[in-house]
A and B are shown apart, each in its own frame.
Chain A
Amino acid sequence: MSRDGERRVEVGGQRARVRPIDFETAVDAYLVQRRWTRRELLERMAALGAVAVLTPIAAACQAAATVLPSSPPTQPPGSQTGLASPTATPAPTPQPTPESELYVYNWDEYIGPDTIAGFQQQYGIQVTYDKFPDEPTQIAKIQSDGKGGGYDVTYPASTWIHSLSSDGVLLKLDQSLIPNLANLAPAWMNPGYDPGNGFSVPNYWWTTGYAWNPDKVPGDLTDWANLWDPSLRGHLAMLDDMREVFAVGAFRLGLSPNTTNPAELDQILALLEQQKPLVRIWTEDDIGDLTSGQVWITHAWSGDWFQMIQDKPNTKYVIPSEGAVRGNDTMVILSGAKHPIAAHLWLNYNLDPQVSANNTNAIGYMGPNLAAQALIDPTIVNDPRLNPPADVQAKLVELGYLAPADLDQYTQRWNTLRA
């Protein structure tokens, strides 16, 4: 996740008083809204005026209708019925005609440099590629109208799939249109956050460890416990991420980072309170804070470390011995997608081994694509910090969905720690 300086900008945007950002946010939202209506208008004009071209449009609409859910998915979470259901129609359906446009909403610098151009060339589909600076902005925008805010495809973290799909923001995938799903490593065929990849396709995965400047902090650090070393006072950054920080405490105590037990959470809080005097910043920009020298050591995402070494090649990173979080993000199609066929093509295209490898080579996050492994830059695929061996992978834990009442337990303690 390229959490660069921009991210803070929009985090700041939630403060009502500062006019410039609010104004930008408003303009942004307005533009998204307007593109929506403009397209609707065009469609209506087409429907009214051009009877001659109505037939192909109708065909496309029909094709779209086969993948559009008539109502928000009501399927209970965790049920296995989301697995690729064989198409009900006995006769093989002809490949539907894709739309001529596609609206994608993603992080900045989060994709191979040629991925978009390659897709446009291969399918003749015009891609509008918008970027969001941080997760709250992304989620707020796609939830603004409850069906994606005008976008066809976006890239939410896996932890969001549960609530987004139960809110009807996501389109149930037509897996017959994504044959490249077969390229996924077996471990990614049926992830816990989205059984059978019913609503999402895994995109990148990473670990959360810590990175440091060896000129300031000598030695090969291996444990989370090292982040409690009093000599780091004033030179340590922890991520401004509630779940990630509580996970660190949980790993140190040998607890699950998904615990909802109040006594265990109190234990974690007590441990983190001990660490707090050492912390200089709860950082939203681990890359900038380490490479600028503001801190010597920072809690960090593996892909951010990959960005750090582009600037400061001697920066070190470790997946701590006590265990670490494995995170991943996903590609999803939004329920309000105007171009669902093109969107499925986009997902399928990004699961192509070469495209997937190009994406990984650009930003250093491993993909779940088994067929792509041989095509990934050896310095990435052979680096145990980016592509950890099986015994380390066994110690990685996915952060699960928390029900609101459980989330409250975390929020209260996180704010107690921060206050």
Chain B
Amino acid sequence: MDVVRSASAPARAEGSVRAPWAERLAGAAFVLPGVAWLAIFFLFPLAIIVVVSFGSVDPAGHVTLAQPGLQSYAQATRPEYLPAFANSIRYALITTVLSLAIGYPVAYWISRYGGERKTLLLILVMLPFWTSYLIRTYAWMIILRDNGVLNSVLMAAGLTSDPIPLLNTDFSVVLGMTYGFLPFTILPLYVSIDRLDRHLVEAGRDLYASGSGAFLHVTLPLTMPGIVAASLLTFIPALGDYVTPDLLGGAQTTTIAKIIQVIFTSGRDWPDGSALGFLLMAITMAGTLLALRTLRREVLA
């Protein structure tokens, strides 16, 4: 890292003919669209949620800030909702682990053995995005239903006499989420594996490391940033996923996202819903920062 930085610094000084203030201005101009985007589509809505979460609902059903307070946060942290929280975390964790377990070999294989077809293979990974996620989820419903494709095959083959309950179970939720988030796992893993200098692995082998030893002590640690990025990109959206558990889940698989939706729609209570939504986001954000900090320490070490 340091080598790269010190090598590029003089080169940039030589090439630059503009005054430092002009360079800074140009930099600001490039950053502006991104900042504006974040401000309009992230910070502004977030601010609304935060403000509303301190409000309450007046007798006419409107949000009011007349007596701002933490009452909605007290509602959001009711222990009765913990099982739904636990479900969300459980599904997100299992999905992340499964996605890594499936995604890492795929990414590794594409990077190492993809050859000239690498691009094609990566396009294949992203191919499902060409169809709406909802349609693909409905397809899973048709496959997994009690009278669905899979059960029909199993019953025709004589493997089971009664349909096995697949849809509306933990199984269908985890399956749907892993299926949906897998591309988000594969792509960062691929980038990280592809960037890995193969000579380092070869050096490991030269130093009498076995194949698995070189993988464990060279490849895996050096692709750790990719693994962490892939985990975050899978875990965070999986934690807040609403559509998959709602369509593929059942009465026993309620997640926190559903609880929030009920508060907003059936309950028509925006402050309570905002508080719970913000809380979920804050927890996610704290977790992300923690993961990134751990990663940075590991990379520097």
Interchain nearest-CB distance for A407 vs B (Å): 6
B288 within 8 A of A: no
A5 within 8 A of B: yes
Contacts of B165 in A (CB 8 A): 234, 280
Selected contact of B242 from candidates A15, A403, A408, CB within 8 Å? A15
> CA of A411 to CA of B261 in the docked complex: distance in angstroms?
11
Contacts of A5 in B (CB 8 A): 138
> CA of A241 to CA of B265 in the docked complex: distance in angstroms?
10
| A293/B145 in contact, CB under 8 A | yes
Interchain nearest-CB distance for B195 vs A (Å): 28
| B258/A418 in contact, CB under 8 A | yes
Q: Which residue of A lies closest to B75 (CB)?
A: A412
The answer to whether A419 and B83 touch (CB under 8 A), given A12-B247, A21-B134, A408-B267, is yes
| B251/A419 in contact, CB under 8 A | no
| B251/A11 in contact, CB under 8 A | no
The answer to whether A12 and B246 touch (CB under 8 A), given A242-B266, A292-B147, is yes
Interchain nearest-CB distance for B167 vs A (Å): 7
| A418/B254 in contact, CB under 8 A | yes
Q: Within residues 362 to 419 of chain A, which ones have a CB less than 8 A from any CB in chain B?
A: 403-405, 407-408, 410-412, 414-416, 418-419
The answer to whether A280 and B133 touch (CB under 8 A), given A14-B265, A17-B237, is no
A86 within 8 A of B: no
Q: Which residue of B lies closest to A295 (CB)?
A: B146
> CA of A416 to CA of B262 in the docked complex: distance in angstroms?
11
| A419/B241 in contact, CB under 8 A | no
> CA of A292 to CA of B167 in the docked complex: distance in angstroms?
12
Contacts of A297 in B (CB 8 A): none
> CA of A383 to CA of B237 in the docked complex: distance in angstroms?
49
| A8/B247 in contact, CB under 8 A | yes
| A17/B240 in contact, CB under 8 A | yes
Interchain nearest-CB distance for A321 vs B (Å): 25
| B254/A17 in contact, CB under 8 A | no
> CA of A410 to CA of B262 in the docked complex: distance in angstroms?
11
> CA of A242 to CA of B266 in the docked complex: distance in angstroms?
7
Interchain nearest-CB distance for A175 vs B (Å): 26
B84 within 8 A of A: yes
| A276/B264 in contact, CB under 8 A | no
> CA of A293 to CA of B147 in the docked complex: distance in angstroms?
6
The answer to whether A242 and B251 touch (CB under 8 A), given A17-B237, A17-B241, A411-B267, is no
The answer to whether A279 and B251 touch (CB under 8 A), given A18-B133, A408-B267, is yes
Interchain nearest-CB distance for A156 vs B (Å): 14
B297 within 8 A of A: no
B60 within 8 A of A: yes
Interchain nearest-CB distance for B67 vs A (Å): 14
| B61/A404 in contact, CB under 8 A | yes
Write the B121-138 contact mask toward A (1 if CB under 8 angstroms, else 0): 000000000001110001
Q: Which residue of A lies closest to B256 (CB)?
A: A419
| B80/A407 in contact, CB under 8 A | no
| A280/B82 in contact, CB under 8 A | no
Contacts of A412 in B (CB 8 A): 75, 78, 80
> CA of A276 to CA of B252 in the docked complex: distance in angstroms?
8
B269 within 8 A of A: yes
> CA of A1 to CA of B148 in the docked complex: distance in angstroms?
26
Contacts of A17 in B (CB 8 A): 237, 240-243
A282 within 8 A of B: yes
A247 within 8 A of B: no
Contacts of A73 in B (CB 8 A): none
| A418/B84 in contact, CB under 8 A | yes
Contacts of A20 in B (CB 8 A): 132-134
Q: Which residue of A lies closest to B276 (CB)?
A: A415
> CA of A403 to CA of B60 in the docked complex: distance in angstroms?
7
A334 within 8 A of B: no
Write the B243-279 contact mask toward A (1 if CB under 8 angstroms, else 0): 1001100111010011101111111110010000000
Write the B26-68 contact mask toward A (1 if CB under 8 angstroms, else 0): 0000000000000000000000000000000111110000000
The answer to whether A404 and B243 touch (CB under 8 A), given A280-B168, A294-B167, A411-B262, is no
Contacts of B59 in A (CB 8 A): 403-405
Contacts of B243 in A (CB 8 A): 12, 15, 17-18, 21
B81 within 8 A of A: yes
Which has the most chain B C-beta neighbours within 10 Å: A167, A415, A418? A415
> CA of A272 to CA of B60 in the docked complex: distance in angstroms?
30
Contacts of B254 in A (CB 8 A): 418-419
| B83/A294 in contact, CB under 8 A | no
| A11/B145 in contact, CB under 8 A | no
| A293/B146 in contact, CB under 8 A | yes
| B246/A11 in contact, CB under 8 A | yes
> CA of A12 to CA of B269 in the docked complex: distance in angstroms?
19
Contacts of B147 in A (CB 8 A): 292-294
Contacts of A415 in B (CB 8 A): 80-81, 84, 259, 262-263, 267
> CA of A8 to CA of B133 in the docked complex: distance in angstroms?
13
Q: Within residues 1 to 33 of chain A, which ones have a CB less than 8 A from any CB in chain B?
A: 5, 8-9, 11-12, 14-15, 17-18, 20-21
Interchain nearest-CB distance for A190 vs B (Å): 24
Contacts of B57 in A (CB 8 A): 404, 408
Q: Which residue of A lies closest to B87 (CB)?
A: A419
Write the A323-361 contact mask toward B (1 if CB under 8 angstroms, else 0): 000000000000000000000000000000000000000
| B262/A414 in contact, CB under 8 A | yes
Contacts of B138 in A (CB 8 A): 5
> CA of A405 to CA of B60 in the docked complex: distance in angstroms?
10
Interchain nearest-CB distance for A276 vs B (Å): 6
Interchain nearest-CB distance for A76 vs B (Å): 12
Contacts of B133 in A (CB 8 A): 18, 20
> CA of A354 to CA of B205 in the docked complex: distance in angstroms?
87
**16 chain-A/chain-B pairs, Cβ below 8 angstroms:** A15-B257, A15-B261, A21-B243, A163-B60, A234-B165, A238-B251, A281-B251, A294-B168, A404-B57, A404-B59, A404-B61, A407-B268, A411-B269, A412-B80, A414-B267, A419-B80
Binding site for B on A (CB under 8 A): 5, 8-9, 11-12, 14-15, 17-18, 20-21, 136, 163, 166-167, 234, 238, 241-243, 276-277, 279-282, 292-294, 403-405, 407-408, 410-412, 414-416, 418-419
Known contacts A12-B246, A14-B264, A408-B272, then 15 further A-B pairs from the complex at CB < 8 Å, ordered by chain A residue: A12-B243, A15-B257, A18-B134, A21-B243, A238-B251, A241-B266, A243-B266, A276-B252, A279-B252, A294-B147, A294-B167, A411-B262, A412-B75, A414-B262, A418-B258
